[in-house]
Structure 1
Amino acid sequence: MSLRLRLTFKLGAAFVLIWALAAAWMLNDLRNQMMFSLDQRLVASARMVAGLTEQMPGLASVSGGAHLRTEQLNVPGGMACQVSSLRGEILARSHTTPEEGLESRKSGFRDQVIDGVGWRSFTLSRGDLLITTADRQVEREALNLSILLAASVPVGVALLGCLCLLWLGIGQSLVPLNRMRDALMRRSADSLEPLQIHPLPSELKPLLDTQNQLLQRIAKTIERERRLTGDAAHELRSPLTAIKTHLQVARMTEGAARDQSLAHAEEGADRLHRTLEQLLLLARVEGNLSFDDGLHSTAEEVARLAIQDANAGDNRRIDLILPDNLSATPVEMPVGLAVAALRNLLDNALRHTPADTRVELSVLTATDNVVFRVRDHGKQ
């Protein structure tokens, strides 16, 4: 699902929910007000008929159940009206009144069902007469439905219009993201220059800055890999050339000269092996690979392992100086990485120190730290 569709769906759903709750509240209040108005119409009609009965002194002599015209009772069309005595005798009624008559023993409003038809009636007591006015429930519900439809259609149309505007507005707001996408798609595979997109909303500037920082890191990584490749090629070329030369000399000579050439070739192979190990270690460091092999060594053990590996095993010129109170606590560092780092320092010291001088390796402790100090006597 696209971001535009997802935003439209979520915001539209929230919008529809809020509008639906507001519309339901409004329509419920409107229905209550309409029912109250219809009830008040029944009350007003009953009072009006009561006023007319006072002007019709011969009403009591009308034969029981006699029908009077609606014009005589002066009630609105569709409304039933019935005039009865306190004994329940129907004195007059409109032609819309059911044959069984309306229940009028109690004053006030009531709901009743006559011949399967629901009625809402109001009875008013005036002297010896009971005036009852009534509406059919089905007519009330039809009126309520028509008002509901009349109020709902504009709300529904407005809601659909708002959703369309929301869709268009979100699409317009996502234009900067589309520009960033197009700018990245137009770039070549080796293009790592920072993106320059203007204008850009403030909310998207952190994204652009992060993208540019990522491009810069990628560029630095690629440059570092290129340098590493060049350095590795240079470091590997020298021992390989020396090995090839010594092997060619050994092929053309005999005796001691041949043995010496083979020994030099072996030294070149050892140098090549150490170079490859250094490259592998560098790749592991830059690749964030784990060095934790589960082994733990003290500072003295790390120093002795580094001396053992230094200068291809020719460690006779290295002096190890240890204090009497050296802690036996394991070094909190991968053993392989600690030994490799210390061995590199020793190799460098031996390489730049005359053959007749010594190299000193001191191990010192200070609180919770351990210090390895390599000292040579080479030329400054």
Structure 2
Amino acid sequence: MKNYSLKWRLVLGIVGTFIVVWAVAFAWLYNNLENKMSETLDERLSASAHMVARLLNQIPSNELLESARPIVNETDQQNLIACEVSFFSADISLEKQIVARTRGAPNELGDRPIGFSTWTDHNQNVWRSYVLKKQHLRVVSAEKVEVREKLLVEILQSVLYPLILTLIICILLILWVIRVEFKPVDDMTKALIIYKNKHDKELEYLTHRSLKSMPKEIQPFIENILQLVERLQLSLENEKNFSAYAAHELRSPLTAIKTNVQLSKMLAEQNVNHQDLVECLNDAEINISRYQNLLEQLLILSQTEHQKDKKIGKIYLNFELNQVIDQLKLIYADIENLVVVDWKSLGSVMIADDAIQIILRNIIENALKHAETSQVKIYQKNHKLYVQDFGKGMSKDDLKNAGQRFWRKSSQGQGYGLGLALCKVLMQQNNYQMLLESGLGQGLTVILDFNPINA
């Protein structure tokens, strides 16, 4: 299921409900108004016909026929209402005689049945008419349906515009109310987002936030989450402190042991019969050096994770890489032949000076020790530093695990699985990332991407 915002889902739900309810109410209003208006206008037609019939009945038939001069030849004039009065003689052999007629009345008025009817004239105009037959008079009153439609539209517009305005105001009020009510939740969310890439200071600020303004329904959830985060942070702190204290306490004994081993080795070398002892002491010295290196990396890793203020500045990769190569010459005498650097491609990056030296040293040493390569190539492209070896490489599964603490490709290896993990932590702390690309038999390429992650 896709992520969604509870706040906006609530807003859309309420607004959608408002729109549906008001649309149903408007449809009901439209239908009811149309029916009521049709009834009212039909009553007006009927009342008009009866009024005309009562007035003309007061005039004697002879006088009415002699004085009436209807205009029946101007049917092209456009009128919205029409009326026609006809006189029927007692002699059934005589046709009806039109006594009076409005200008522009359609010729079809005389053919309408008694009562109400809706019909279309020869100009395709739709009419609504009422026919009244009273004694010798036949009165037809009619109006165009267009009049009714315009009147209905005007009435609906006068209702619809305030309705839409009210709906918009209600939606704005809903947004404002939900925003105010969700403000404590939003503040807590922002605090959690800020803490995501921060240190202990922000956690202390987060755990001491007041929960009084939180809705009661989510207060227990927030409290439990904060307690869980606090316990987790305490556990991580204890783990870091243990590593740091253990490494610090073991450093001095290992140094003393190494010194004693070196002295014993010097004494054993003076006697030709003690060559086996010399070899054992050599192995012991190598192992002690390995453990010293492990302790140094643990201390650096612990200090790196505890460090809050990093002295970030502009450093030049060619200068830092030269220093690292000079340091490694003490271990690898032919390192200048093993490491091929494209010096012209190297530029500058923003990072702490000690961090970049640790990163470069670990990556280069990792390639020389474990990759079984004859050469290591270093170059920079698109603000990314590539350290490429041509050794046996790694499988896809190994790439997923590489960079995790204490992970080693083989238990027979000399390393402790901290080199790449330390590089990864240092890059992340400077808002950069370290990527690994490899294939079996194709070597390993470590990419130091100095493009900021959040840029």
Normalising TM by the smaller chain, what interval?
Answer: 0.5 to 0.7
Matched residue, 2:280: 263
1:139 partner amino acid: V
* Most deviating of 24-33 and 249-258: 249-258
2-side partners of 1:219 and 1:131: how far apart? 99
- Residue 23 to residue 114, structure 1, CA distance change in 2 (3 Å): same
Letter aligned with residue 217 of structure 2: E
Which position in structure 2 is the counterpart of 1:126?
Answer: 134
2:265 to 245, 250, 254: 250
Give 1:165 shift: 1.0
The one-letter code sitting in structure 2 at the alignment partner of 1:152 is: L
**Counterpart for residue 217 of structure 1:** 232
With over 3 angstroms needed to count, the CA separation of the structure-2 counterparts of 1:99 and 1:177, relative to structure 1, is closer
SS in 2 for 1:146: helix
Q: In structure 2, what is the Cα distance between the partners aligned to 1:212 and 1:93? A: 95
1:74 aligns to what? none
**Does the Cα contact within 8 Å between 1:81 and 1:131 map onto a contact in 2?**
yes
The structural deviation recorded for 1:259 is 4.3
Q: CA deviation at 1:58?
A: 1.4
Are 2:200 and 1:190 equivalent residues in the alignment?
yes
> Residues 149-198 of structure 1, C-alpha deviation per residue, up to 9 Å, x if partnerless?
11112112211211221221122112213432565688772223324223
1:165-314 alignment, distance < 5 Å: 165-181=173-189, 189-191=199-201, 192-193=203-204, 194-197=207-210, 198-205=212-219, 206-232=221-247, 234=249, 238-239=253-254, 241-253=256-268, 254-255=270-271, 259-260=276-277, 262-263=279-280, 266=283
Q: CA separation in 2, counterparts of 1:159 and 1:43?
A: 40
Give a deviation string over 1:178-234, Cα, whole Å, max 9, x none. 432565688772223324223221233223532442243133123223313433554
| Residues 85, 139 of structure 2: 8 Å contact kept | yes
| CA distance in 1: counterparts of 2:235 and 2:161, whole angstroms | 62
Please report how far the alpha carbon of residue 67 of structure 1 lies from its aligned counterpart in structure 2 after TM superposition: 3.9
Q: State the one-letter code of the partner of 1:219.
A: L
1:9-41 residue CA offsets vs partner (Å, 9 max, x unmatched): 554344223322321221222122112221222
Query: Do the aligned partners of 2:70 and 2:99 also contact (CA within 8 Å) in 1?
Result: yes
| Aligned-partner residue type, residue 222 of structure 2 | L
* CA RMSD of superposed structures (Å): 4.1
Give the superposition deviation at 1:244.
4.2
Say which of 112, 123, 131 aligns to 2:119: 112
Q: Residue 374 of structure 1 aligns with which residue? A: none
- Structure 1 gaps of 5+ residues are 69-76, 281-339, 341-380
Q: Secondary structure at the match of 1:98?
A: coil
Secondary structure (helix, strand or coil) at the match of 1:41 reads helix
What secondary structure sits across from 2:120 in the alignment? strand
Q: Map 1:53-202 to 2 at 5 A.
A: 53-58=56-61, 61-62=64-65, 66-67=69-70, 79-85=81-87, 89-96=96-103, 98=105, 100=107, 102-114=109-121, 116=123, 117-181=125-189, 189-191=199-201, 192-193=203-204, 194-197=207-210, 198-202=212-216
Distance (Å, rounded) in 2 between the aligned partners of 1:207 and 1:90: 92
In 1, Cα distance between the equivalents of 2:208 and 2:240? Answer: 23
Q: Aligned letter for 2:146?
A: V
Separation in 1, partners of 2:167, 2:95:
55
Partner of 2:363: none
Counterpart CA distance in 1 for 2:26 and 2:169 is 16
Choose 1 or 2 for highest CA Rg: 1
Give the number of equivalent residue pairs. Answer: 271
Letter in 2 for 1:204: I
**1:322-358 deviations in Å (ceiling 9; x for gaps):** xxxxxxxxxxxxxxxxxx9xxxxxxxxxxxxxxxxxx
Contact 1:84 1:91 in 2 (8 A): yes
Q: Which moved more, 1:150-159 or 1:241-250?
A: 241-250
User: Partners of 2:62 and 2:266 in 1: how far apart?
Assistant: 149
Q: CA shift at 1:113, angstroms? A: 2.9
**1:113 and 1:97, CA in 2 relative to 1: closer, same or farther beyond 3 A?**
same
Identity of aligned residues (%): 24
Seen in structure 2, the aligned counterparts of structure 1 residues 88 and 221 have a Cα distance that, compared at 3 Å, is: farther
1:25 aligns with 2:25: no
What is the aligned partner in structure 1 of residue 76 from structure 2?
none
Please say if residues 82 and 90 of structure 1, whose CA atoms lie closer than 8 Å, have aligned partners that are also in contact: no
What 5-or-longer segments of structure 2 have no aligned partner?
72-78, 89-93, 299-410, 412-455
Question: Which stretch of structure 1 is more off in the superposition, 54-63 or 171-180?
Answer: 54-63
Alpha carbons 1:84, 1:130 under 8 Å: kept: yes
Deviation by residue 1:48-107 (Cα, 9 ceiling, x = unmatched): 334444433417952698449xxxxxxxx9743222356873533342561525144412
How far apart, CA to CA, are the structure 1 residues paired with 2:7 and 2:68? 72
